[in-house]
Structure 1
């Protein structure tokens, strides 16, 4: 009898300990994946989520394969309350996207094409016109001219903050796209050494209160910052620039998203899904976290940001942009692990801020 009592007591004690331990561990967040069979279908899946199947009055049409013309489109899409739908260089590639427009756009709605005929073909434009839609094309002689047309169409208030990003690579611009879209900030593209004349003209007339440079001095040299300070002497200039795309992104994350309720994950080496998802992220005041799907581990800078969220008590909903080829399940498992269990404390990286020139120490 005594043995039975002791055994029952031991079992009860173990059960209480297990229950207590389980209660002390924070459950890892679940996740949503917005994806299709390809980048076209993924952009459609994201649009369906963004607008919950409702009819839309505006659509932004961008190239699925050429990033430069589309980089500045996020803020325009947010302003127009429009999804970003991707098309290819042939009607066959674009068929699913055009069918989505046909079934989800109001009669006589407006389609804004970003990019010239080389990236979004005339046949697509003709199809839209024949279907009775209003079509506006913002396409210049090069990526900077197209960007200037997009920025002009935003009609921002004088003094509005602006973002300066490289026109020759996409990660830095995509990292800041959701915050720029949610705030209505134009993204102005630049070469590495010198501001395009269109950017200088805009900065001269706008006289922004804040200028955010995204990218280290390897992609946007110190001369860019010097030009900006000379053109807008009263602006506060802040550079987000790390050793790689992930460190640069982490500086943006710590600055603008210290406690997000949602996060979006995307492939950091392909622009399409992150671009399509930028307005959905902006709608939810959420960041896009770029990762390397082939690395087998999270980028250290992104991992540390997730750990910081855990340590501060944040429990964001995890959303995934794209299918398992571009973003394998192991990525989500690692993200949920860091959010759910955390790790050692980390120190947020610093960006450089200046009302006069303050040059970053490292690239």
Structure 2
């Protein structure tokens, strides 16, 4: 018995060793088989032999070329503006397939793949996938699976809200998406630092956000890149984290999906590619070996180096404008320049920022205008929200994509109106600076007690070095300053300028239609409107009353030709993609049925509603009734229905702000539609806009009988009426925004009325080549230095007139 026990003790270990060897052999065989069916690629040339007859030649340069030969004869070839990352051999039902996976340049490492059918006599491409940003591709037992991180607004790219799993099946010469599942990250991934099956080595700790802000600022200055741009990219990529904080490393995901995970809390992307604060990803095409390993190790362990490498990538994308080396087959550069291509201008980095993430359709700002936004739009919104620099929205309505795998706008340069902004992290001690906004707090310390208020144009002196914030959502810095009265304190650097120039914007287009698109693009660039109002542009009388409806929904007012949507308007309408569209006026005299059909074709899911009557008076009644359906209405504005009169133009912003309908009347008697509206809505007061010629005292008497209270606001000409309205309805001591439009043509102002209502600001009329005396007098009494908005180009308001306006308003 004792001998049997001893024998069994010897047999059991032997059995276990044998079992282990068998398992390892099986594992090794599985690994070998896997590697035989999966090939990864770096830069340069490589040939893969699929069978004795078939070879695949891959050349990864700036473009990736793939050539399949059979017995030396080419049977398939393709070239892409992307890097070929992987080849997979798939065998199913006695048929061989080849999956060819590509990755686009950029931190997004956008993935797309093709499936080729390999037959005895030919090679056919049977499928091309969509492009998936930051995705992971895996193929096992002929099942093709793509894991795609999905983001909600506010997510950084290393921390998605959920993971979408897409499973594709191959049947003969068909590839179909079999299923798509979406799993919230918090449910799909257990984050743990101890216990469980895998333990994280949390060896790394992030520097403080204050230190990270300082490093980003220093490195941006060295590279001559606006610090605000670099900070926003680092935030979007990683939330300003090189490493996962304690207990938050996504262990299950990394251990299951990322064969390159080193077991530490280094912040990898969910595609297992991006590394660290800048999610650097271009290393993957380096030749395997010690040099690459050292580089990757440094990317993980040295946050400043990671930032420097991110800057190199961004710099290379900036140079994509150089058509000598970076151009499409149509001769245009990868990205256009903006204005004079000055590196110091934040807005000029728009396309380089886009390219940092990748020139994939995912970053098309027309089709990805809102949640989720195109990458560069997120970045510039970050600059607004976290650096507090009021960057000018990029005029995306000017962009039209060409037919190309990569985003190709077919442009060499884009003209962008100002104001354009330089970095606010560049002031030095002893330098003079000026407040750029009104009501700016001078504080005892960064974020400390308020000492006094500064207004736009007030001069201060920088007295020392900046101090950074200890938050990853406060990218701006604080400067110690001395005000003109000797008070010392700190102000947010984002609100300082190097000059005391008045801030002014130009919102314009080649025609009135394009101007309306420009206004919509500017005013509703990052906030999607619920509705859009569309009115006739060549006789915009209906748009005057419709401006109140647009303001009620905080929506843009677009102008159209009677029989067709202008191209830029159509383009902008697609970008806005509202739930509801209002058409103003009838099918024959205002907005045709064909335009309505165009709108329906563009926005098939939107509710389209026409507001019209047999006459302009009845149309104003229909629009006013729609306003009353959505807001409490107890007063109205009444003005002439004469389309040549500009009297009511300047009241539109205030009427829209207060949801007060504008109704048209005939000159010598009150229109029946006005009477009906008053009775149906129990209107208690009315205000006539205009003098006794356009709206007679007879009309006033009839209104008094119906409402009991009637006032009249007017001037002896359109300019004086404009000022009379501004004086009555706007407090000049608090007015920090003013819109200007030409007085001899009213249509541009109508498109601007909803924006003015949002700003709670007046629209003032001016002549093209000079300021009316009444307007001069009004501007001379300005208490604040307001932001100015010129509606229309230089042909509408000349530079001479603009200089005059700004001279009067400069403190």
What's the TM-score bracket when you normalise by the shorter of the two chains? 0.7 to 0.9
Q: CA deviation at 1:89?
A: 2.5
Q: Quote the residue 2:651 is aligned against.
A: 176
- CA distance in 1 between counterparts of 2:613 and 2:679 reads 21
The verdict on how the C-alpha distance between 1:64 and 1:254 changes in structure 2, with shifts beyond 3 A counting, is same
Question: Paired residue for 2:613?
Answer: 140
Tell me what 2:584 maps to.
114
Deviation at 1:238, TM superposition (A): 1.7
Q: Does 1:94 align with 2:566?
A: yes
Pair 1:51-2:524 in alignment? yes
8 Å contact from structure 1 (residues 89, 120) kept in 2: yes
CA drift of 1:27 comes to: 4.7
Q: Work out the CA distance in 2 between the residues paired with 1:192 and 1:34.
A: 34
Q: CA deviation at 1:167?
A: 1.0
Matched, 1:128 2:614: no
2:622 maps to which of 138, 141, 149 = 149
Whether the 8 Å contact between 2:685 and 2:707 is mirrored in structure 1 is: no
Give the counterpart of 1:327 among 797, 802, 811: 797
SS of equivalent to 1:78: helix
Residue pairs, 1:22-33, within 5 angstroms: 27=500, 29-33=502-506
* Contact 1:315–1:339, Cα closer than 8 Å, also in 2: yes
2:633–2:659 contact (8 Å) kept in structure 1: no
CA displacement at 1:292 relative to structure 2: 1.6
Any residues of structure 2 matched to 1:237-248 within 5 Å, and which?
A: 237-248=710-721
Between Structure 1 and Structure 2, the one with more helix by share is 1
Shift of the alpha carbon at 1:54? 3.9
2:635 to 161, 168, 184: 161
SS in 1 for 2:502: coil
Are 1:79 and 2:549 an aligned pair? no
Distance 1:340 1:129 in 2: 47
Deviation at 1:279, TM superposition (A): 0.5
Q: Normalising by structure 2, report the TM-score.
A: 0.37
Deviation at 1:207, TM superposition (A): 3.7
Contact 2:633 2:660 in 1 (8 A): no
Secondary structure at the aligned position of 1:219 is classed as coil
Give the SS at the match of 2:618: helix
For residues 204 and 34 of structure 1, the distance between their equivalents in structure 2, rounded to whole angstroms, comes to 40
Aligned to 1:350: none
Write out aligned runs for 1:305-324 (5 A).
305-309=778-782, 313-324=783-794
Q: How many Å separate the matches in 1 of 2:659 and 2:715?
A: 25
The question of whether the paired residues in 2 share the 8 Å contact of 1:158 and 1:208 is answered with no
Residue 28 of structure 1: CA displacement? 5.2
> Do the aligned partners of 1:43 and 1:276 also contact (CA within 8 Å) in 2?
yes
Corresponding residue for residue 230 of structure 1:
705
- Asked if residue 221 in structure 1 is aligned to residue 691 in structure 2, the reply is no
Quick one: distance in 2 between partners of 1:217 and 1:95?
A: 42
- Of the candidates 659, 670, 679, which is equivalent to residue 204 of structure 1? 679
- Give the Cα separation in 1 of the matches to 2:633 and 2:517: 35
Query: Would the alpha carbon gap of residues 134 and 171 (structure 1) be closer, same or farther in structure 2, given more than 3 Å must change?
Result: same
Deviations 1:57-84 (A, max 9, x none): 3110111111221110111001122210
CA distance in 2 between counterparts of 1:54 and 1:179 reads: 22
Higher gyration radius (CA)? 2
1:292 paired to 2:736: no
Once the two structures are superposed, residues 260-299 of structure 1 have per-residue CA deviations (whole angstroms, 9 ceiling, x without a partner) of: 1100000111122101100001000000001121xx3211
How many angstroms apart in 2 are the aligned matches of 1:73 and 1:224? 23
- Could you report, residue by residue, the CA deviation over 1:111-141 in whole angstroms, capped at 9, with x for unpaired residues? 1100112221211101222331321111211
Matched position secondary structure for 2:647: helix
Question: Would the aligned equivalents of 1:158 and 1:207 in 2 still touch at CA under 8 Å?
Answer: no
Task: Supply the distance in 2 between the matched residues of 1:240 and 1:269 (Cα, whole angstroms).
Answer: 20
Residues 1:301 and 2:774 aligned together:
yes
> Which residue of the partner structure matches residue 372 of structure 2?
none
TM-score after normalising by structure 1: 0.80
SS in 2 for 1:239: strand
| Deviation per residue, 1:180-233 (Å, 9 max, x gap) | 000000001111111110101212333434321110111111111111111112
Give the superposed CA RMSD.
2.1
| Larger strand fraction of residues | 2
Check conservation: 2:714, 2:725, Cα contact below 8 A: no
Contiguous gaps of at least 5 residues in structure 1? 1-18, 342-363
Is the contact made by 2:521 and 2:572 (CA closer than 8 Å) also made in structure 1? no
